Structure 1
Amino acid sequence: MGFGGGKGVLDLSNFFSTYPHINRLDFEILPRKPPSSTNDDPFFIQFEAISRSVVHLLKPLLLSSSPPLSAIFSDFTVSMTLTPILEELCIPNYVLSVTCARFLSLLAYLPYLINENSPKFGESDDYVHIPGLSPLPLSTIPPPFFNPTLFFTSFAISNALFLPKAKGILVNTFERFEPDTLAALNNGRVLSNLPPVHPIGPLEPYKLEKGEQLSWLDDQSVKSVVYVCFGNRTAMSKDQIRELGDGLERSGCPFLWVLKSSKVDKEDTEEIEDLLGDSFLERIKNRGIVVKAWVNQEQVLAHPAIGGFVSHAGWNSVMEAARYGVPLLAWPPHGDQRVISEVVENAGFGVWVRDWGW
């Protein structure tokens, strides 16, 4: 989805209203506190708070559930805290991975890459070697993985160690997109003790209200519009915004640009006019639209006017584009997105301009 303040809470309420037969159990998240690594990323602080809450609060809810639970579907980020509880209660656990299968392979193998007996990344050559897969270029690995003491890395390793205890792993991908990686995971070549990996994507969209941008798209020619969006975590500098605007203007293509100038945890208050200038907006008013608001990305990508997607290569965005056959131009700024961009390019689904950097 595109970004938007408070939208996730509203959508969750709408979801339960639409499906009243689903029984909802809530528990309060314990107060957040920054982990000992002094990490200040709001996502990882929340991950840590959720993990602590699972340990202290979830077990009574599971014990009181009626009828008894047949299985749990959980996020990768709570594997280390949830698995011991479910083992004690004899409830099978299916782990949901929200990245591509290739990056999942890296996560699963990470404890074996980073240990006292293995060489550090980059000491032998410019690639990371995972059994059963083509080598991963060192330049695609998230920089935090080079420092095992960071919260991001230690958190990933701790959860990866519990993957073999899951009943199965669900991945939002599909066979044609990552055939070799899925085969290596399920044939035991990556790790012999992993459970079955089930590709369940591309996931079907949850229907939401029609976004206001679609009325503008209705007036555009088929496959003529470039959609530009870098997700809800990617803040661009003012210089980058101006450069991108200049490129879009000179391309001659109609475009819909969802603009974000601050990180997800910061208030995004700058006006479009201040970021791009009134003269830019005047020059492109007949063939471009720039918005700083939430958009229904799946409905945008499904629109017949959309012909291409300039993206940060977040996995949800990639799968949404794949569902509607919209090719990507990838600019991966952080995290798993370089690995994803390589997957996109190898699948023949888009282009990755490597020298654009992190």
Structure 2
Amino acid sequence: MSQTLQVVIVPSPGMGHLIPFIEFAKHLVHFHDYFNVTCIIPTIGTPPDAMKASLLALPSNINHIFLPPISFEEDRSDHSEVGNVVLISLAMTRSLPSLRHTLKSLIETNTRVVALLVDSFGTAAFDVANEFKLSSYLFFTSNAMALSTLFYLPKLDEMVSCEFRDLPEPVKIPGCVPVNGRDIGELFQDRKSDTYKLFLNMARRFGLAKGIVLNTFIDIETGALKALMEEDEEYSGGVRPPIYPIGPMIRAGSSDRGRKSDCLTWLDNQPSGSVLYVSFGSGGTLSHNQLIELAFGLEMSQQRFIWVVRSPNDESANAAFFKVQSEKDPFDFLPDGFLERTKQRGLVISSWAPQIEVLGHGSTGGFLTHCGWNSILESVVYGVPMIAWPLFAEQKINAVMLTEDVKVAFRPEVRKEDGGLVIREEIAKVVKKMMEGVEGKKVRKRMRENLTDAASKAFMEDGASRKSLLKLALEWKNQKAGKY
């Protein structure tokens, strides 16, 4: 072919969305070397160093362009999870003029741009793609169950008058296990809010995409993918675009050897499968009271653990998403004497750990996770069963899928009489069940035999995800280039 084909990808702000876009780009150019990828990145404030480092490490056929940062000082009344979602959506919308200018420049330099792949918060960019006669695709960075929920949302909105948390019966989302209304997610619980209306409008615009790319694989979400890919009448009206499940795509291990050496050295000295890894992702935060309960629960369990601890926030469950968090040392919030009492079997790390290397280490036997989809896929790839502790966004839906459908996780109970906290006794019970109980052994076996093996086969030459990526690549190869 005389000219390399260019695919433009547009993630929303935040590492959690950038990571799967980067991994997709790497897989695309590796398996189909007639593509180059340009990653155009809307930003809120100055891009963090970790983001810059990830982008600079990419191969030469993947380029990146930061759009001018969007400021929200006049808009931001709080830093709640709901506020953050609205900010992300606004950032994507306010970045459209810069995106338009950048696309125009690419096309005018005789670059053969054949497709625009955007984040779920960036569906307004479909209109920009149309201006350049570009085919626009959606990259949904969560899973098929969450996508099925969003496609079902307009119909559910018409059927139900109360708040979803007040529904007396579980919601039957097409292709998925029934979900209690309270587990649909905090972002959907106030139907009069701007956030709910944003997601409702987002779901309706998904159908405008020429195709939807999903970082999942058939063996982990058979029912949801089947419902999305077939003519399921349970969804509301409108045609669903073709679905391309191309996962699991996870990031490679860190190249920062200095930061991770102490952590992995400690793991080297622990028995096989004996350590529980505790982390709430790049943005998750606990309240002060919940942090105290978790500390005592880990201590009471008498199990080995690595805990990535972050300063608490009583206002938001994802206060660290845009670095809006306490500057105090997180160790200052731990119970008195906790570090001393647990030093023989626990390692507490401030804010960051090399998650890929920890999950891939032979001493790691469990993962207490916030149920972000990236973390779930990483755990699946390395065969580590989970304790599901969802915090925000679609994570409660993910927790239901893990515990009720594929059954590779335990979920601690949250009771009203405990003030909405997961209390220390419950934490200790679930941790012990995972790490030393018979049920934990069954979950570990189920994870490795049903999911981890299937994940490793998905990108083999005849694997379903490899074939799905090939189908998408051929479709893009045959697209006409964008014009201005």
The bucket for the TM-score relative to the shorter chain is 0.7 to 0.9
Structure 1 distance, partners of 2:68, 2:380, is: 36
- Give the TM-score taking structure 2 as reference length: 0.66
Structure 1: 5+ residue stretches without partners: none
1:270 equivalent among 328, 338, 342: 328
Structure 1 distance, partners of 2:48, 2:377, is: 19
Q: Which moved more, 1:137-146 or 1:219-228?
A: 137-146
Q: Which moved more, 1:131-140 or 1:320-329?
A: 131-140
Do residues 323 (structure 1) and 367 (structure 2) align?
Answer: no
Do residues 228 (structure 1) and 278 (structure 2) align?
Answer: yes
**Secondary structure of 1:335's match?**
coil
- Counterpart AA for 1:233: G
2:289 equivalent among 239, 244, 247: 239
Alpha-carbon offset, residue 307 of structure 1: 0.1
Q: How many residue pairs end up in the alignment?
A: 352
Alpha-carbon offset, residue 185 of structure 1: 0.5
1:217 equivalent among 267, 291, 294: 267
Q: Which moved more, 1:190-199 or 1:61-70?
A: 190-199
Alpha-carbon offset, residue 235 of structure 1: 2.1
Structure 1 distance, partners of 2:198, 2:133, is: 25
Structure 2 distance, partners of 1:39, 1:352, is: 30
TM-superposition CA deviations, 1:163-217 (whole Å, max 9, x none)? 1111221222211111101100101215461112222222132342231311111
Structure 2 distance, partners of 1:199, 1:294, is: 30
Alignment map for 1:185-196 (pairs within 5 Å): 185-189=228-232, 191=235, 193-196=239-242
Alpha-carbon offset, residue 352 of structure 1: 1.7
**Secondary structure of 2:55's match?**
helix
Q: Which residue of 1 aligns with 2:406?
A: 347
Alpha-carbon offset, residue 8 of structure 1: 4.7
Structure 1 distance, partners of 2:200, 2:53, is: 34
Sequence identity (%): 28
CA contact (8 A) 1:97 1:104 kept: yes
Alpha-carbon offset, residue 272 of structure 1: 4.7
CA contact (8 A) 2:366 2:386 kept: yes
Distance 1:131 1:330, change over 3 A: closer
Structure 1 distance, partners of 2:148, 2:303, is: 38
Q: Which residue of 1 aligns with 2:71?
A: 31
Distance 1:132 1:48, change over 3 A: closer
Structure 2 distance, partners of 1:7, 1:286, is: 38
Q: Which residue of 1 aligns with 2:342?
A: 284
Distance 1:309 1:349, change over 3 A: same
Alpha-carbon offset, residue 158 of structure 1: 1.9
Q: Which residue of 1 aligns with 2:180?
A: 137
CA contact (8 A) 2:278 2:367 kept: yes
Alpha-carbon offset, residue 244 of structure 1: 1.6
- Counterpart AA for 1:12: K
Alpha-carbon offset, residue 44 of structure 1: 2.7
TM-superposition CA deviations, 1:198-249 (whole Å, max 9, x none)? 2222213234223131111111111010111122333223332222222212
1:76 equivalent among 120, 140, 145: 120
Q: Which moved more, 1:8-17 or 1:348-357?
A: 8-17
Do residues 152 (structure 1) and 207 (structure 2) align?
Answer: no
Structure 2 distance, partners of 1:310, 1:124, is: 29
Distance 1:315 1:23, change over 3 A: closer
CA contact (8 A) 2:163 2:190 kept: no
Structure 2 distance, partners of 1:149, 1:118, is: 13
Alpha-carbon offset, residue 73 of structure 1: 1.4
**Secondary structure of 2:414's match?**
helix
- Which 4+ residue blocks in structure 1 deviate beyond 6 angstroms? none
CA contact (8 A) 1:228 1:311 kept: yes
Q: Which moved more, 1:220-229 or 1:123-132?
A: 123-132
2:59 equivalent among 19, 30, 35: 19
Structure 1 distance, partners of 2:57, 2:71, is: 28
- Counterpart AA for 1:300: V
Q: Which residue of 2 aligns with 1:93?
A: 136
Distance 1:343 1:83, change over 3 A: same
- Counterpart AA for 2:252: Y
Q: Which moved more, 1:171-180 or 1:272-281?
A: 272-281
Q: Which residue of 2 aligns with 1:205?
A: 251
- Name the structure with the higher helix share: 2
